[in-house]
Amino acid sequence: MRLLQEKIGTEVSLILLASPVALEYYPRIGFDKLDNAFVIKRER
């Protein structure tokens, strides 16, 4: 994820649809939980 974020920069949001078994993992690497997904919002 860190490498991907370095490549896309801060002007892009990442939205992740995850399997129920992975729901605990993604907040640990910086994603915010939405009702039905996880997101890292763009900064600009």
Report the pLDDT value the prediction gives residue 28, as an integer from 0 to 100: 93
Cα 25 from chain centre:
11
- Residue 35, domain extent: 2-40
pLDDT in tens, 1-44: 889 989 989 888 888 888 888 888 989 998 898 877 888 888 87
Report the pLDDT value the prediction gives residue 3, as an integer from 0 to 100: 93
Model-level pTM? 0.64
Chain length of the chain = 44
8 Å CB contact between 10 and 20? no
Domain count, the chain: 1
